Structure 1
């Protein structure tokens, strides 16, 4: 079964935003996030401008982001990626869940897990 057109558009929008953000373009968030964006990650603020100000100072803004997989349906896009920094080359595995309405991200959830030593993960994290 192929992706619906809506799922494909949602996936394209989120992947474009991710790619631009990963390249250092934090302003792309103003085009993809709804003004009343809701954030579910503890400690992170809701609202587009508050979230952008927060994330611009967060480690993710300076990290290397290596996208591993994307799953989309008509309402959600799920991304699985590796986030690493020079200070933490093993980094973390991240799963972001984005909910979209009318071509903008309206909600976000995430799960973050430290990447252990290779010997502890015989089948790999990704």
Structure 2
């Protein structure tokens, strides 16, 4: 893949933001999200400032995020990771889908699933 391609730039943008967010920097979202950012997850608000305020109070802001894979194309970046907390060491499997336009994240979807006991997933969740 050409290192100057949109897919590479989008992947680098979202990966940089994920890394900073996972390290506790919630404000990085202000540099990534479009002002009129659209959120597709039930119960989560759209709009950059409303979404950031919501996320700052949500469990993900205090969780450990263990990134497993990133897939990107010219418009989307998909991140698959495990989110754990002290109260939930088995955690949650998350797949985030981010739509990027002109260097800004404009939309987000996710799929979230509790990680079951190892015996229920013989080939692993990740």
1:71 to partner: Cα distance: 0.3
Match of 1:70 in 2: 70
Q: Say which SS state the counterpart of residue 91 (structure 1) adopts.
A: strand
Q: Say which SS state the counterpart of residue 36 (structure 2) adopts.
A: strand
1:106 to partner: Cα distance: 0.1
Match of 2:20 in 1: 20
Q: How far apart in 1 are the matches of 2:114 and 2:73? A: 27
Structure 1 runs, 4 residues or longer, greater than 3 Å off? none
1:122 to partner: Cα distance: 0.5
1:5 to partner: Cα distance: 1.0
Gaps of 5+ in 2: none
2:92 is equivalent to residue 92 of structure 1: yes
Count of matched residue positions in the alignment of Structure 1 and Structure 2 = 125
Q: Say which SS state the counterpart of residue 27 (structure 2) adopts.
A: helix
For normalisation by structure 2, the TM-score amounts to 0.97
**Mapping 1:1-126, distance limit 5 Å:** 2=1, 5-126=5-126
Q: How far apart in 2 are the matches of 1:13 and 1:66? A: 18
Q: Say which SS state the counterpart of residue 20 (structure 2) adopts.
A: helix
Q: How far apart in 2 are the matches of 1:108 and 1:26? A: 16
Q: How far apart in 1 are the matches of 2:59 and 2:75? A: 28
Q: How far apart in 1 are the matches of 2:64 and 2:121? A: 21
Q: How far apart in 2 are the matches of 1:89 and 1:70? A: 23
